Chains A and B, each alone.
Chain A
Amino acid sequence: MKIFDNPNIDFVKWRWHAIALSLLIIVAGAVTIMTRGLQLGVDFAGGTIVVVKFDQAVPIDRVRAAVVAAPGGIGNDAVVQEYGDASQHQVLVRVARTGEESSGNLSKLAEAVVAALKQANLGSFTPINTEIVGPVVGEQLKRQGLLATVLSMGGILVYIALRFQVSFAVGAVAATLHDVLVTIAFLAFFKYDLTLNVIAGLLTITGYSVNDTIVIFDRVRENMRSMRRDNLSHIVNVAVNQTLGRTVITAGTAFLSVIALFLFGGEVLHGLAFTMLVGIISGTYSTVFIAAAIAIMWQGRKPLKGQVAAPATSPERKAGRRRAS
């Protein structure tokens, strides 16, 4: 069985359209983030989250009214929303602030929320999850997460440059960056919080995207030996077509397992699953359209590393290469 029988699609031809489309999404994401803001979860922004589970269904408006009425002025910037499946009667209350770090009252706001809900007589409930992250830890997570990501990208860049071509390294890292940005744009469109679990999802798709890209570059490298006379665009196009079946199948199987995670994974995994869903689509797309396109652009008219190093001494071969490039 085969999905594609000797495909011969000119992907490289579409590279400008692809880059334009990607830029459009990224810019739209940036505009959304600038106007509406990217919702940083309490992990990074700091703040207080209390999730309570009521024994019986309680109208969300009454919960909101109770929180707004809480002493200490919590109400004004509190977000109250249903959490998980409606049949669970779970409500999430989020406040952007915490109690003071130094006085040991970090949980003051969380306690005030619970007290207010108790006082409002909404029926019995149990707090099932409390997250309180002070500004110090939030800042620390942000900084370290960013540092770790930048350094790991740098590591990838160096390795690919050594094993393949500098232009390939740039292409792979650009494609990975592209996937992260596109995914963040979609997170902004659909108003997902940027939490630690979402970050884990983003890391997963960077891994996935790099893996996907390298398979094609590997094929390009292999083809370069047998197709010395052709220019890079053509070699890349052949490689993308040769690996198209594998690209689609891999993306398809990954998509299958992540869609299961998205549908059945529960509330806690929802953000993670959504991130991976978008990331897999974006990763596959960027592998086919973006990575190679950037590599070709970066390479420009410069000769490839392998071709220069190859002792191709016969005169007509040299001439052939010059003609091609």
Chain B
Amino acid sequence: MNKNLRWRVITVIAVFLVFFSVGIYPLLAGRFHWPAPAWLLANQLKLGLDLKGGVHLVMRVNRDDALQTSTETTAEQLREALKTAAVGFSAITVTSPTSFRIEGVQADRDAEFRRIAEDQTAANYDRTAGTSGTHDFTMRPNIIKDMREQTMVQALDTIERRANELGVAESNIARHGSAGDQLLVQLPGVTDVARAKEIIRSTARLELKLVEDGPAATREALLQKHNGQVPPDMEIVTGAADLRTSEAGTMFFLVRKVAAVTGSDLRTASVGLDENSRPAVMFSMKPEGARKFGQVTGSNVGRSLAIILDDRVQSYPRIDNRITGDGRIAGGFTQQEAADLALKLRSGALPASMSYLEERVIGPSLGQDSIRAGVTASLVGLALVVVFMLVYYKLSGVNAIVAMVINLIILLGMMAYAGFTMTLPGIAGFILTMGMGVDSNVLIFERIKEELAANRGARSAIKASFERVFLTLLDTHVTSLIAAAFLFQFGTGPIRGFALTLVIGLMTNLFTSIFVSRTLFELALSRRAANAQTISI
């Protein structure tokens, strides 16, 4: 064996060992409880939802909700500031999620108004003055863009936290689609789909607001004292008629628009019991929230505080004394409801509402059936190909099979190392790779046969064949790579899985069919006479 050949053999064995230990050994070790280091087991080939079972959701984040909230808040802050400075105006109205309008600003206080408006809104809004004290405020395009992006990031983080709180291992939460407002949520192994969906989707926006009036049975009764008008700094919220039993029917409350404390002031939340020993949610505040809460409760002893979750009053306890750190939400919960609410409060509120666009639930049994059938089919197919290659190409067929097996192992190893997820379209990519692998060998063998027929001697026939076929393989593989690259770049989830498998497979294929296969031929020839005329093909 010459030195060059020895190095080639060592390379092939080394590559084989590396990828075998990364791709195959962890699978076997997991199955038969063989010893393996943790880092090796961590990088296993994952199974996609279609093979493992679980929930797959595509949802749209209604990003304009966040803009609307921001615009409303800014409008309210301006209202408060103008009130404090005693600048008169007739109305402030929110005209769209990104704009609001003030009308009838006192003409003689115009300079003061401009100063306050500048102070309160100039960071995010452009102001255009109209006639007779009307001013329009419009959110700046770059602020809109930033805020939308921020909403997506925040929504993604929140859902990730909720999935973790649900105890889902290997959940996958990611941006989706080209429109920029969609999220993909994949929760493998989840069986209680309705609950998972509820927890993922609910906004869980908690607000504690001072009750100014109510409860009342109708809107009209509530507004009687206020001349039938909702005062500008207040709003009407509703709750169930009997909060303890959540009975049908609605009660109306008049509350302050600005919340005393919100969900973002919470430090943590957990399940506890209310005074009647029924499940309730206990929460405690961050220092800043506790300070605000203490201020509000201290100066409003004797009044009621509405605990509002997603715009619905859960309860309205009376403030008996100054409260700082902790609070409780009662509301006729079951144990499960209380636990879920605590989970949602812990993981934070979603900045916007969500709509489901796509929903797939794959039962674990269907996934297992698919795997079993897929594996059976692959093994049968592989066996058929192996038999054919051995019959048709005799000893050279062994060469092709070794190359194919090494190809398979490198491919599996690379995909495991890259943390790739195996799906059904991915398996299609696998099959194509195997097909191209066999084809590469067939091309080479047929060429060798042609060269041998021209009586050039075995050595030069093999050399010429590999050199010539290399060009062919380069063209076929590069063409497929180009196609796969476009599919990866512009395709969606499953198509990308297909493309990625193909890209990796094409590269390993070039290596095995050119390098490994040739090394095997030369290894066989190294024991033969220099002028050998035939090989088993």
Give me the interface of A with B, judged by CB distance under 8 Å: 1-2, 51, 53, 84, 101-104, 106-107, 126-134, 136-137, 140-141, 144-145, 147-149, 151-156, 159-160, 163, 196-197, 199-201, 203-204, 206-208, 210-212, 214-215, 218-219, 222, 242-243, 245-246, 249-250, 252-254, 256-261, 263-269, 272-273, 276
Task: Other than A106-B355, A144-B490, A203-B487, give 6 A-B pairs with Cβ distance below 8 A.
Answer: A101-B355, A137-B177, A137-B357, A148-B486, A204-B429, A260-B378
Interface residues of B in 167-225 (CB under 8 A from A): 177-179, 193, 197, 201
Find chain B residues with CB under 8 A from A206 CB. Answer: 483
Assess whether A257 is in contact with B373, with CB atoms less than 8 Å apart: no
Assess whether A128 is in contact with B363, with CB atoms less than 8 Å apart: yes
- B95: Cβ under 8 A from any A Cβ: no
Assess whether A137 is in contact with B58, with CB atoms less than 8 Å apart: yes
The smallest C-beta distance from A118 to any residue of chain B, in angstroms, reads 15
Question: 1/0 per residue B445-488: CB within 8 Å of A?
Answer: 01001100000000000000000100110011011101111110
Assess whether A155 is in contact with B485, with CB atoms less than 8 Å apart: yes
Assess whether B381 is in contact with A256, with CB atoms less than 8 Å apart: yes
Binds A, one of B117-125, B129-137, B431-439: B431-439
The complex places the Cα of A199 from the Cα of B429 at a distance, in Å, of 12
The complex places the Cα of A246 from the Cα of B179 at a distance, in Å, of 46
- Interface size class on chain B is 35 or more
Q: Which 8 A-B pairs have the closest CB atoms?
A: A266-B373, A257-B381, A128-B363, A200-B425, A260-B381, A152-B486, A148-B490, A260-B380
Assess whether B482 is in contact with A261, with CB atoms less than 8 Å apart: no
Given contacts A144-B492, A258-B381, A127 and B361 within 8 Å (CB-CB): yes
The complex places the Cα of A260 from the Cα of B388 at a distance, in Å, of 14
Contact of B482 among A147, A155, A258 (CB under 8 A): A155
The complex places the Cα of A253 from the Cα of B435 at a distance, in Å, of 8
Find chain B residues with CB under 8 A from A103 CB. Answer: 355
Assess whether A211 is in contact with B374, with CB atoms less than 8 Å apart: no
Assess whether B388 is in contact with A256, with CB atoms less than 8 Å apart: yes
Assess whether A265 is in contact with B374, with CB atoms less than 8 Å apart: yes
A158 (CB) vs chain B CBs: closest residue: B482
- B273: Cβ under 8 A from any A Cβ: no
Binds A, one of B248-256, B297-305, B414-422, B494-502: B494-502
The smallest C-beta distance from A291 to any residue of chain B, in angstroms, reads 13
Binds A, one of B2-10, B364-372, B521-529: B364-372
- B520: Cβ under 8 A from any A Cβ: no
Interface residues of B in 345-382 (CB under 8 A from A): 354-363, 365-366, 369-370, 372-374, 376-378, 380-382
Contact of A266 among B359, B369, B394, B446 (CB under 8 A): B369
The complex places the Cα of A15 from the Cα of B431 at a distance, in Å, of 31
A90 (CB) vs chain B CBs: closest residue: B366
Find chain A residues with CB under 8 A from B502 CB. Answer: 207
Assess whether B438 is in contact with A254, with CB atoms less than 8 Å apart: yes
Assess whether B468 is in contact with A222, with CB atoms less than 8 Å apart: yes
The smallest C-beta distance from A278 to any residue of chain B, in angstroms, reads 14
Find chain B residues with CB under 8 A from A245 CB. Answer: 446
Assess whether B377 is in contact with A134, with CB atoms less than 8 Å apart: no
The complex places the Cα of A257 from the Cα of B386 at a distance, in Å, of 10
Contact of A269 among B377, B389, B391, B436 (CB under 8 A): B377
Contact of A148 among B366, B381, B428, B491 (CB under 8 A): B491
- B443: Cβ under 8 A from any A Cβ: yes
Find chain B residues with CB under 8 A from A154 CB. Answer: 486
Find chain A residues with CB under 8 A from B374 CB. Answer: 261, 265-266, 269
Find chain B residues with CB under 8 A from A269 CB. Answer: 370, 373-374, 377, 424, 427
The complex places the Cα of A212 from the Cα of B436 at a distance, in Å, of 9
Assess whether B384 is in contact with A260, with CB atoms less than 8 Å apart: yes
Assess whether A261 is in contact with B432, with CB atoms less than 8 Å apart: no
Assess whether B491 is in contact with A2, with CB atoms less than 8 Å apart: no
Given contacts A104-B356, A129-B363, A151-B490, A2 and B373 within 8 Å (CB-CB): no
Given contacts A151-B486, A159-B482, A200-B425, A264 and B201 within 8 Å (CB-CB): no
Assess whether A137 is in contact with B358, with CB atoms less than 8 Å apart: yes
Given contacts A104-B356, A249-B392, A265 and B377 within 8 Å (CB-CB): yes
Contact of A268 among B366, B431, B442, B483 (CB under 8 A): B366
- B79: Cβ under 8 A from any A Cβ: no
The complex places the Cα of A250 from the Cα of B365 at a distance, in Å, of 35
Given contacts A197-B425, A207-B502, A145 and B442 within 8 Å (CB-CB): no
Find chain A residues with CB under 8 A from B369 CB. Answer: 84, 266-268
Question: 1/0 per residue B236-251: CB within 8 Å of A?
Answer: 0000000000000000
Assess whether B388 is in contact with A253, with CB atoms less than 8 Å apart: yes
Q: List 22 A-B contacts (CB under 8 A).
A: A104-B354, A131-B359, A132-B359, A133-B358, A136-B60, A137-B58, A151-B490, A155-B486, A156-B479, A197-B428, A211-B436, A211-B480, A243-B446, A253-B438, A257-B385, A261-B377, A263-B377, A264-B377, A269-B373, A269-B374, A269-B424, A273-B377
Find chain B residues with CB under 8 A from A127 CB. Answer: 361, 363
- B72: Cβ under 8 A from any A Cβ: no
Find chain B residues with CB under 8 A from A249 CB. Answer: 392, 442, 446
Find chain A residues with CB under 8 A from B495 CB. Answer: 144-145, 148, 196, 199-200, 203
Find chain B residues with CB under 8 A from A136 CB. Answer: 60, 357
Contact of B428 among A126, A219, A272 (CB under 8 A): A272
